[in-house]
Amino acid sequence: MKNEEQLRNSLSPMEETSLLCLMRPPNFGASSSGYWYQRTPSMARSYPPKNHILRHLRLRHLVDGEGNVSASMPILPDLLDAGGWLRLGAIATLVDSVAGHHGVMQVEPDWVATLELGTVIRRRAEGTEVVAECQPLRIGRNNVVTETYISDDLGEVARSTCTYARLPARSDNPTVGTAKGRTVDYASEEEFSNRPMLNDYLQIEINPKRAVIELPHHSRIHNSFGSIQGGAVAVLVDAMATHLGSITTGLPMRCLSAEIHYLSQAKSGPFRVEGELLRADKDSVTSRVRIIDVGNNDRLLDIATATAKAID
């Protein structure tokens, strides 16, 4: 008979997250290490917590009277690449947040977990903010699929598709503010006086000579299960695609597209991000990116294909 850890390691991400919900004892929650801790009334969860990537990006969600969800994100200097474009990782974090919120609205009282996230940037974002509007493509018994348009005052900046696993309802699911006709402001009350660049905020350490990135498991990147938040994964993929592109071409690069598949829940950390060159042209590099849980026997967590192009 397999023990719990062996069983969880043998499951697909959707099976694993469903099992986590079903195995959780009443009034108990899951810690980032995968163990259960008892939950008291004062510990009722509100996601995201303080000092979290979603709050740092100052996301603002609007739920209209019909239950449609949109979100805005300010275009801040620390979210830009070397050429002044809003980074794909920041855009994908906005998308994962609003599409996940939209998914919860569609399936409540059930919950959702990210399985796939694909993003393509069309052009530079102009003005002071971008707005993401999410539309459902499929609301099924097991999956939720959405398409999200990201725009500024001039029109479309980027587009994303997301696939989520639909998870059974639990009495202790986090709350995200699903009431119709309200605005949910995720802006942090403890704003940094000098905002660090996004990679620094996430404690990303890039090896200058090799296609390797390392980072610890910390609360700023947690999702509602204590794993890595889907948008934070996109930031890692963005960072690796840009880094490997620069190593390969010797030029400053910009990640313009990424297709991410979420395979397993992170349990321990620290994490290692590895880049593999798939294709290189004069000013474009396509990479395979893998995110590995070093503290959990080098388990593969996420895999992505991303393309970076030279900054003009």
Crossing angle for the helix pair 88-107 and 230-249, nearest 10 degrees? 160
pLDDT band at 188 (very low <50, low <70, confident <90, very high): low
| The pLDDT of residue 87 is above 50 | yes
Provide the pLDDT for residue 177: 53
Quick one: what percent of the chain has pLDDT higher than 90? 54
Q: What is the pTM of this model?
A: 0.82
pLDDT, tens digit, 9 for 90 and up, residues 228-248 = 999 999 999 999 999 999 999
Distance CA(97)–CA(95), nearest Å, equals 5
Task: Tell me the CATH architecture of domain 13-19+48-189+197-310.
Answer: Beta Barrel (2.40)
Provide the pLDDT for residue 152: 97
| The pLDDT of residue 35 is above 50 | no
pLDDT, tens digit, 9 for 90 and up, residues 138-178 = 988 888 899 999 999 999 999 999 998 888 876 655 555 55
Cα distances from 90 to residues 5, 167, 169, 239, in angstroms, run 33, 26, 29, 11
Among 24-33, 84-93, 287-296, the least confident range? 24-33
What are the domain boundaries of the chain?
Answer: 13-19+48-189+197-310
**Angle (CA) 103 259 124, round 5°:** 90
Distance CA(96)–CA(230), nearest Å, equals 6
Distance CA(21)–CA(26), nearest Å, equals 10
Provide the pLDDT for residue 184: 78
Burial of 36-72, coded b for 16+ CB within 10 Å and e otherwise, reads: eeebeeeeeeebbeeebbbbbbbbbbbbeeeeebbbb
Best mean pLDDT range from 9-13, 40-44, 54-58, 72-76 = 72-76
| The pLDDT of residue 75 is above 60 | yes
Looking at per-residue pLDDT, the higher value among 269 and 37 belongs to: 269
Provide the pLDDT for residue 191: 62
Cα distances from 141 to residues 34, 106, 107, in angstroms, run 26, 11, 9
| The pLDDT of residue 9 is above 70 | no
Establish whether the linkage from the previous residue to 270 is cis, with ω within 30° of 0. yes
| The pLDDT of residue 4 is above 60 | no
Given CA atoms 259, 264, 265, 271 in this order, what sign does their dihedral have? negative
Q: What phi, psi does 45 have (nearest 5°)?
A: -85, 135
